Amino acid sequence: MEPRESSSDTEAFERALDGAGPEGVYVLRLFVSGMTPRSAQALAMIKSICEERLAGRYELEVVDVYQRPDLVADDQIVAVPTLVKRLPEPLRRYIGDLSDRDQMLVGLGLQPRGRDAERAE
């Protein structure tokens, strides 16, 4: 069985590749379960990081797992909230508690890790 790909996914990916300059464009998909407090917190955190660190260089799609079960299956989502970083490569998934800002910045490659962060200061 071949994976299904929607035309909007393909178009977003191609737009991101076309616009990828030296700093690159981030293509993100956040899976949530309705607007629960945890989902709202995850969305607020990701939006804050994107606006602060990636202004004008990101596409964020929010997917309610109850509304789009097809995308849940396509992206093999097993828990929510889950953030899928499609671009820049490599593809990454961040599952569960997305409230730790520093951890999210490191995970998205927007802040150096541990000792690397100390050297950068």
Q: Is residue 15 part of a domain?
A: no
Q: Round the average pLDDT of the chain to a whole number and report it.
A: 82
Q: Is residue 6 part of a domain?
A: no
Q: Between 97 and 19, whose confidence is greater?
A: 97
Q: Is residue 50 part of a domain?
A: yes
Q: Is residue 7 part of a domain?
A: no
Q: Is residue 102 part of a domain?
A: yes
Q: Is residue 11 part of a domain?
A: no
Query: Can you tell me the distance from the alpha carbon of 20 to that of 14, in angstroms, rounded to the nearest whole number?
Result: 10
pLDDT tens digits, one per residue of 24-77:
899 999 999 998 999 999 999 999 999 999 999 999 999 999 999 999 999 999
- Residue 75's pLDDT is 92
What is the number of structural domains in the chain? 1
Query: Can you tell me the distance from the alpha carbon of 57 to that of 67, in angstroms, rounded to the nearest whole number?
Result: 27
CA distances from 71 to 32, 36, 61, 107 (A): 12, 19, 11, 23
- Residue 35's pLDDT is 87
Q: Is residue 3 part of a domain?
A: no
Q: Are 24 and 71 in contact (CB under 8 A)?
A: no
- Residue 112's pLDDT is 73
Residue-number span of the structural domain to which 113 is assigned: 24-120
- DSSP 8-state assignment for residue 59: E
Which CATH number fits the domain that encloses residue 80? 3.40.30.10
Q: Is residue 41 part of a domain?
A: yes
pTM above the 0.85 mark?
Answer: no
| % pLDDT > 70, the chain | 74
